[in-house]
């Protein structure tokens, strides 16, 4: 009689970051975890804020545990939306619960949370930061940043539409013709493209701009008009597909040329962020002043300092007659589908890491190498080591 192969136990604790409503795994994909050789245990109430009951997890094969300590002690892998680095205050309570050899996967903000990375390295934990997943074709289904940006772009348009004192679509009514709203999206990455698509669905006239001319075709395919700014941008995209930080002289000229477009816009949605750095100021106070009173700015870069000079993180303010929204943790405001997308990303990453029923960390593989921060009690990620001032071995 052969021994039954032991399942990899995956633990899903309840999120502790204030206002975080997402959960790292949803019931619908639990059978896929099981087929891949994993058993999922969930802390009671983990899905509550996403509209998911404990019974829903149990119905799809999950085990619900009331004790957080027990969940950590039984788990080979801990899946979270916000790990310690992205939740340094409340997350500190979880550090003593981790044990040597355990694996954890989450958003971690590793480029700005070096102390927290070191703390888990010292515990002997293998830490994967999902925002470090490389933007390559075979990793698309694991790309948590893109998934959450999709949700943020969608929600940004709804926030703008609810605040704007106009309707988005053109309408022919018995009382006359209602002109459509004009929306300007700055940054045509995943969030920006989703915002363009959503604004078009609502009937707005949409323009968009990005420092990467290559995205013009994508903007136009969604029905938006790409704003051409005849400037020498050089290489405005890094090897990971993200917009690079550009020089102040370029940004100065860019602002001057955007002034006219912004003056004609009812809504401006900004999405420009550079990983690990402060967001560039693209909308100045001078630009806000030329907008029509009642216009709306939604700044999706508010958590990184904002693309608008006047943005206040987490607040809605009115300056020069313009409503400026600086929402934070936007994906968490659509927690059901945000959790669904995030969970599928994590499942795909875990399936990539499992070989012959066991976790296997191949540092020759680009996905593993770029996402794994710590192993064997050390920080091993080259970029994070560099930021820590630790010499990388050649």
Looking at the structure, tell me whether residues 375 and 343 fall in a common domain.
yes
Which of 151-165, 227-241, 283-297 shows the lowest per-residue confidence on average (mean pLDDT)? 227-241
Whether 369 is covered by a domain: the verdict is yes
What are the beta bridge partners of residue 149? none
Query: Which residue, 328, 352, 369, sits at the end of a domain?
Result: 328
Task: Please report the sign of the dihedral spanned by the C-alpha atoms of residue 76, residue 82, residue 84, residue 89.
Answer: negative
240 pLDDT tier (thresholds 50, 70, 90) = low
Query: Which residue, 286, 301, 328, sits at the end of a domain?
Result: 328
H-type alpha helices, 36-133:
54-59, 68-74, 114-122
Looking at the structure, tell me whether residues 322 and 351 fall in a common domain.
no
Output the pTM of the full model.
Answer: 0.91
Q: Distance of CA 356 to CAs 36, 81, 131, 307, 369, Å?
A: 10, 27, 27, 47, 20
Looking at the structure, tell me whether residues 250 and 378 fall in a common domain.
no
Looking at the structure, tell me whether residues 167 and 314 fall in a common domain.
yes
For the segment 222-246, the average pLDDT, to the nearest whole number, is 65
Note every long-range contact of 312-320, with CB atoms under 8 Å and residues 24 or more positions apart, other chains counting.
316/163, 319/285, 319/288, 320/285, 320/288, 320/289, 320/291, 320/293
Asked if 46 and 339 count as a contact pair (C-beta separation under 8 A), the reply is no
CATH code, 308: 3.40.50.720
Looking at the structure, tell me whether residues 287 and 186 fall in a common domain.
yes
Q: Distance of CA 7 to CAs 28, 62, 124, 186, 357, Å?
A: 19, 13, 22, 47, 8
Q: Could you write out the DSSP letters of every residue in 204-235?
A: -EEEEE-S-GGGHHHHHHTTPEEPP------S
Query: Residue 286: which residues within 8 A CB-CB, separation 6 or more?
Result: 259
126 pLDDT tier (thresholds 50, 70, 90) = very high
Whether 1 is covered by a domain: the verdict is no
Query: Which residue, 328, 343, 358, sits at the end of a domain?
Result: 328
Locate 353 and state its tokens.
């890491």
Provide the pLDDT for residue 93.
96
Asked if 86 and 18 count as a contact pair (C-beta separation under 8 A), the reply is no
Whether 239 is covered by a domain: the verdict is yes
Q: Domain total for the chain? A: 2
Looking at the structure, tell me whether residues 154 and 219 fall in a common domain.
yes
Looking at the structure, tell me whether residues 355 and 289 fall in a common domain.
no
Cα(383)–Cα(64) distance, integer angstroms = 38
The 10s digit of each residue's pLDDT in 385-394 is 999 998 776 5
Whether 114 is covered by a domain: the verdict is yes
Range of the domain at 376: 8-142+335-388
When the pLDDT of each residue in the chain is averaged and rounded to a whole number, the result is: 92
Catalytic residues: 135, 140, 143, 146, 242
Asked if 344 and 358 count as a contact pair (C-beta separation under 8 A), the reply is no
Cα(9)–Cα(12) distance, integer angstroms = 10
Cα(213)–Cα(210) distance, integer angstroms = 7
The 10s digit of each residue's pLDDT in 282-322 is 999 999 999 999 999 999 999 999 999 999 999 999 999 99
Angle at 140 between CA 213 and CA 153, to 5 degrees: 60
Query: Virtual CA dihedral for 191, 196, 202, 205, nearest 10 degrees?
Result: 150
Whether 33 is covered by a domain: the verdict is yes
Provide the pLDDT for residue 58.
98
- Angle, in degrees to the nearest 10, between helices 144-163 and 190-201: 40
Cα(350)–Cα(30) distance, integer angstroms = 13
Cα(129)–Cα(309) distance, integer angstroms = 30
Whether 268 is covered by a domain: the verdict is yes
Provide the pLDDT for residue 1.
38
Q: Give the number of other Cβ atoms within 10 Å of residue 145's Cβ.
A: 20
Whether 356 is covered by a domain: the verdict is yes
Class of residue 2 by CB neighbours under 10 A (exposed 0-12, middle 13-18, buried 19+): exposed
Cα(350)–Cα(76) distance, integer angstroms = 12
Q: Please report which helix (H) or strand (E) contains residue 296, including its range.
A: strand 296-299
């Amino acid at each position: 009689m052969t021994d039954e192969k032991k399942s990899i136990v995956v633990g899903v604790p309840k999120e502790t970051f204030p206002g975080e409503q997402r959960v790292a795994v949803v019931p619908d994909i639990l059978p896929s975890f099981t087929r891949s050789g994993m058993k999922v245990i969930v802390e009671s109430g983990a899905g509550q804020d996403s509209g998911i009951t404990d019974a829903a997890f149990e119905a799809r094969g999950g085990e619900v545990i009331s004790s957080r300590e027990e969940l950590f002690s039984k788990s080979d892998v801990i899946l979270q939306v916000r790990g310690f680095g992205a939740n340094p205050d409340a997350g500190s309570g979880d550090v003593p619960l981790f044990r040597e050899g355990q694996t954890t996967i989450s958003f971690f903000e590793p480029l700005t949370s070096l102390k927290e990375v070191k703390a888990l390295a010292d515990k002997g934990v293998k830490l994967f930061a999902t925002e470090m997943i490389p933007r390559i074709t075979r990793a698309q289904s694991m790309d948590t940043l893109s998934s959450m940006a999709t949700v943020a772009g969608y929600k940004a348009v709804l926030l703008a539409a609810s605040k704007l004192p106009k309707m988005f679509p053109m309408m022919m009514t018995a009382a006359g013709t209602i002109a459509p709203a004009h929306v300007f999206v700055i940054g045509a990455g995943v969030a920006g493209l989703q915002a363009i698509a959503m604004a078009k669905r609502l009937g707005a006239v949409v323009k968009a701009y990005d420092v990467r001319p290559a995205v013009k075709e994508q903007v136009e395919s969604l029905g938006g008009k790409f704003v051409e700014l005849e400037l020498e941008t050089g290489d405005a995209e890094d090897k990971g597909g993200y917009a690079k930080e550009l020089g102040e002289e370029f940004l100065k000229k860019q602002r001057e040329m955007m002034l006219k477009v912004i003056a004609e816009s009812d809504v401006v949605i900004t999405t420009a962020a550079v990983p690990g750095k402060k967001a560039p100021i693209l909308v100045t106070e001078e630009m806000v002043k030329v907008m029509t009173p009642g216009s709306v700015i939604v700044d999706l870069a508010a958590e990184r300092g904002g693309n608008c000079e006047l943005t206040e993180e987490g607040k809605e303010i009115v300056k020069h007659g313009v409503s400026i929204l600086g929402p934070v943790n936007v994906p968490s405001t659509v927690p059901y589908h945000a959790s669904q997308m995030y969970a599928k990303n994590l499942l795909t990453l875990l399936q990539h890491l499992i070989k012959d029923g066991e976790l296997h960390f191949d540092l020759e593989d680009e996905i593993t190498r770029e996402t794994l921060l710590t192993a064997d009690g050390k920080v091993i990620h080259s970029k994070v080591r560099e930021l820590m001032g630790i010499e990388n071995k050649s």
